[in-house]
Amino acid sequence: MHPYFKNMPGFGKALSDKKKEKALPNRQAIEEVEALIVAEIERVKNAGLPAEMVHKRGQMTIWDRIEYLVDPGTFRPLHTIYNPKQNEEGTTGVVDGLGKIDGKWCVVAGFDNKVMAGAWIAGQAENQLRITDLAKRLHIPLVWLVNCSGVKLTEQQEVYADRRGNGTTFFRHAELEKLGIPILAGIYGTNPAGGGYQGISPTYLIAHKDCNIAVGGGGIVGGMSPKGGFDVEGAEQLIEATRHFKEVPPGSINIHYNATGFFKEVHDTEQGVLDAIKKHMAQMPSYDLDFFRVDEPKDPAFPAEDLYTLMAFNQKLSYDFEECLARLVDGSEQMEFRAGYGPEIYCGLVKLSGLAVGVIGNRQGFLPAGYPAYAEGAYQGIGGKLYREGLIKMNEFVTLCGRDRVPIIWFQDTSGIDVGDIAEKAELLGLGQSLIYSIEQTDVPQMLVVLRKGTAAAHYVMGGPTANNHNVFTLGTPTTEIYVMHGETAAAASFSRRLVKEKDAGKDLQPVIDKMNALAQEYYDKSRPGYCAIRGFVDEVVKYKDLREYMVAFTEAAYQNPRSICPHHHMMVPRLIKG
């Protein structure tokens, strides 16, 4: 199939110095948001104990461990500022992302031993489930760096129980193993109770000499006979038990290497544990990516820095989606699917690291006259909104990518699906749900970038994070905003009847207007990139210049050990494009 994929049609054009200069205020606005996100990331990295204090104990921090473990320059962090429960620690206490170890992609995750010795804290469970979902959807190994002191007992109700509590992770580990996805664990420190199960549930356990895993820690074992209260005698017994177990914690190397044999290996140094993980990652199942490549990897023909000029920070301004895409894909080459049909949507095949990928994105600006045809001239179509042809085209393309086993990257900048009786007669409600069905039955890994707006039902149907079985991760950008509708629209919908009532009663409208403005401002504040990342609406906010790195990581990971294969000479999408 090399005649189809090598030297695909090029697209994009170089930016003039004049255009770059004119866009400097736009670039500055974008970089200001990026600086805010960087500050939040640094806050999370500095949470808990100072790194110097951990180093004085002769230990590495989780950030040190990941830096040592992962191939240089390959770590793609996710969920860095995620904190859905807004806990007092300011972090979920887990660090994770995609990274290469010994040349192979894996999901890397570890407990932040600076924050309450890696305890279970509020919001962490949901982060852990996103981690296991990453490994499941990409079908790649999960590497855990376990250093977990168990439940934060003063807030046990926030972490212990619930359908999606911290214990759910152990079932997810079992599910991954059932699917043939290995979990390697490097184990450090004291890991009682929940920490014990964090240590025992992976596939292959590699221990540091000072670590332990146990059903209960010293404090738990010493207090296992409740008497209805505490007295001096009970306190003395607890002191003695605590001293004993501090000296000899349950589940040490002597037990779980020498007696049970749960630990496969024991190493004297922290680096020794990490070196062992590297050795075993070399044994993990994977294809040489050349087996699936359709072309040699190439850099884009245009620099990613151009995105700071091309992407309009002002949400009311349009931009050229294809020009942006040309800065992200190999050779700035593409094959567009059904060009001219459903002009509000771009669908096409591109290459990343020489591998075929499907791309779907919203175009912006005014659409051709007479579109959408079903409106019969009642109104003019505009980019960002979804119409009948665009929804049909996406359904077709998604289904065909599933047939050809091609992973999909979505780019959202959408104001929603067309509304009103004209749109209802054009079956847009049904076509939106049809796209959801197409995504669900397609069964290939999918990634989303919310370039600007993720709005209304369009945020769902265009590969949104609600596509739980297929959306691997969602990236935000400095221009991302996610809401059910614009804040002013929401305020009008919420207070229009109140305005009529107050007007008819001859009352002052200003108090209602004040509430409307307050609601619009709240929508704005709660749709910013940082807020979206903290709440988990996106999995990470990344700089524009780093987008391609995440796209390549996703693509290579998706092809590393796929569950099913379509031979290149059996593919239909390139043939349908060529005709």
Annotated catalytic sites, by residue? 151, 194, 417, 457
CA distances from 52 to 58, 69, 347, 435 (A): 10, 20, 50, 52
- Cβ-in-10-Å burial (0-12, 13-18, 19+) of 493 comes to exposed
Give residue 414's identity as a one-letter amino acid code: T
Continuous segment of H or E residues that includes residue 219: helix 218-222
Are the CB atoms for 530 and 81 separated by under 8 Å? yes
Residues whose CB is less than 8 angstroms from the CB of residue 163 and which lie 6 or more positions away in sequence, other chains included: none
CA pair distance 171, 102, nearest whole angstrom: 28
d(CA 139, CA 179): 8
Are 162 and 127 in contact by the 8 Å Cβ rule? The answer is no
* d(C-alpha 110, C-alpha 374), whole Å: 53
CB atoms within 10 A of CB 571: 22
Q: What is the 3-state secondary structure (H, E, C) of 266-289?
A: EECCHHHHHHHHHHHHCCCCCCCH
How far, in Å, are 495, 510, 562 from residue 503 at the CA level?
12, 11, 63
Distance CA 233, CA 220 (A): 17
Q: Distance (Å, rounded) from C-alpha 434 to C-alpha 490?
A: 27
- Residues whose CB is less than 8 angstroms from the CB of residue 23 and which lie 6 or more positions away in sequence, other chains included: 308, 309
**Distance from the first to the final alpha carbon of the chain:** 14
Structure tokens at 415: 């104001």
CB-CB contact of 520 with 487 (8 Å): yes
